[in-house]
Structures are given as C-alpha cells and as structure tokens.
Amino acid sequence: MAQSLDELASTWRGWLVSGESRAGHEVLAEALLASSVPSRARAICLYADGLFLFRLGEQRASRERNEEALAVARQVGDREAESLALVGLSRVAFREGRHDEVVELATRARELAAGVGSQAEVAPLHMQAAGTRLLRDYDRAAELYRESMELARRLGNKRGVAMEQHNLAHVELHRGNFEEAARLFSARLEFARASADPYEHAMTALNQAALAAAQQDHELARQRISEARRLLDEHRIVLDPDDASEFDSLAARYS
C-alpha cells in the first residue's frame, strides 16, 4: 500500500540518511501524484522530493518541485514549509553558481524559521554558510558553520554535527589553520565510519586527500583523490557544489 503524504512528511529523512535518493524520489513521486490537495504535508513532501532530485542531479525537476512547494506553503500559511521551500530553491541556485542568491534565499528562509523552533533553522543556516563559503568569505563562513555545528549538537543531530565538521575543516584549510582542520576531519570519522551512505565514505577519501595536499604529501593526496573518484563513479554520486569545488580543485592537481 502506498504511503500517505502525512506519513511521508514525517519519515522521508530515512532515505536521506541512508543515501537512497532514488528510492526516496520514487516513493514521494507516487504519493504526490495520488493526492494534489494543498496541505503542509504536501508542501514538505514536494520539498523533500526536490532535495532527492537535487542529489540525483536533476536540476530542473528539483527547481519545479521547490517552486510548487513554495506556492503550496504560502497557500496554506505554513512558515516552516515556506522556509524549507526557500532552502530548496537556494540549493538550485547553489548548483547554478548564483552564490549571492543562495545567501539571500537562505537568509530569508532563516528569518521565517526563527519563529518556528531550532530544528527549523538547521537547513537555512547550513545553506547560508555554504553560500558564504563559495563566495570565499571564509572568516564569515567559519562563524556560520560553527553556529550550525553547535545547533546540530544541541539538537542531538549527529549527522548534522559530522557534516559541519567536514565543511568547517575545508574552510579552515582555506584559512591556513591546518591543525584545526585535521582535528575536525578526525572528529567526523566516528560518524562517517558507521554510516551506510556511500557519500560519507567518498568524503572521507576527499578529506584525506585535502589534508595530504596541505601537508605536501602528494603521493597520498593522489591515492586518496583516486579513491574518492572511484567511490563517486561506482555509486553514481552527484556531489553537492561545495564538495564538488573541493574535489575538482584537488582532482585537477592530482589526476
């Protein structure tokens, strides 16, 4: 029996955690086709499907889902769902290289989320940090990533903490803080080693390559970037733009 939108609005993150974006998209697409009644659940499921499509590299479809999510959220007057839809649109802008727009959309999303609760601020804050990072404002990006990491820690979100340890470590490398980057990469490993998501394993190899390059260990950097590429190809992973930026820079040096 197909799951209802109400059920999926509460459970869709399971596919995100396991890295099963294709499966999540297929289930959500079926449920969204079965019911078109405007509701909070529909808006959230549209956003969730937009996220899975983003992870699958289907940019146009992701934009369409998030635009519809925004329209439905505003129709039913749900601030949290509206915030999520703006986050989804910020991701689309992210992949298209419109980093100023990423920060603008994420900031608007965060303002909406502020009156809802801490959990609602997680995604907007992360995207605000990510857009700032790719604008190369590394000092401000570091502040935002630390704020995001502490929010995830307060919420008991181990995945969120590990994600921001990963992101902040790369920012610290750009700032020349190699010891802090190494500490953050190491702290992230406890989560990454236990994760079933192949994306996490590919990022471990990428992180090791980045640290090796910073330490002038070029042979190790070459080995680890090769391993990252193998995992990405094997699992048909489409990198998020911030990770793609780091990967592409290292791959250009060590291919």
We report the CATH number of the domain holding residue 29 as 1.25.40.10
What is the per-residue pLDDT for 77?
96
Give the per-residue pLDDT at 169: 98
CA atoms within 13 A on the CB side of 238: 13
Residue 141 lies in a domain: no
CB 56 within 8 A of CB 20: no
Give the Cα separation of 205 and 254 in Å (integer): 13
pLDDT in the model for residue 205: 98
**Which pLDDT belongs to residue 119?**
84
- The HSE-up count of residue 187 (CA atoms within 13 Å, CB side) is 19
Q: Would 2 be classed as within a structural domain?
A: yes
For residue 71, the model assigns a pLDDT of 98
What is the pLDDT, as a whole number, of residue 18?
A: 84
Decide if 106 is inside a domain: yes
Lowest mean pLDDT among 33-37, 78-82, 117-121: 117-121
- Please count the structural domains in the chain: 1
pLDDT at 188 over 70: yes
Has residue 1 got a pLDDT over 60? Answer: no
The fraction of the chain above a pLDDT of 70, given in percent, is 99
Side chain identity, residue 231: L
Contacts for 125 with CB less than 8 Å, ≥ 6 apart: 106, 110, 144, 147, 148, 151
Banded model confidence at residue 118, pLDDT cuts 50, 70, 90: confident
> pLDDT band for position 152 (50/70/90)?
very high
Rounded percentage of the chain residues whose pLDDT exceeds 90: 89
pLDDT of amino acid 204: 97
pLDDT digits (tens, 9 = 90+) for 209-254: 999 999 999 999 999 999 999 999 999 998 988 999 999 999 999 9
Q: Which two tokens stand for residue 87?
A: 């986050």
Average pLDDT over residues 49-57: 94
Position 3 confidence tier, pLDDT thresholds 50, 70, 90: confident
Q: Residue 45 falls within a domain, yes or no?
A: yes
- The average pLDDT across 48-77 equals 96
pLDDT in the model for residue 2: 66
Q: Which of 164, 160, 148, 151 is nearest to 118 (CA)?
A: 151
The reported pTM is 0.87
Distance CA 239, CA 202 (A): 10
- Checking if the pLDDT of 17 tops 90, the result is no
32-52 mean pLDDT: 95
Say yes or no to pLDDT of 40 above 90: yes
End-to-end CA distance of the chain: 48
Can you give the residue range of the structural domain that contains 70?
A: 1-135
pLDDT of residue 9: 92
Look at residue 115 and tell me if it is in a domain. yes
For range 20-24, the mean pLDDT: 93
Residue 101 main-chain phi, psi, to 5 deg = -65, -35
Segment 185-194 shows an average pLDDT of 96
Measure the CA angle with vertex 161, ends 157 and 163; round to 5°: 115
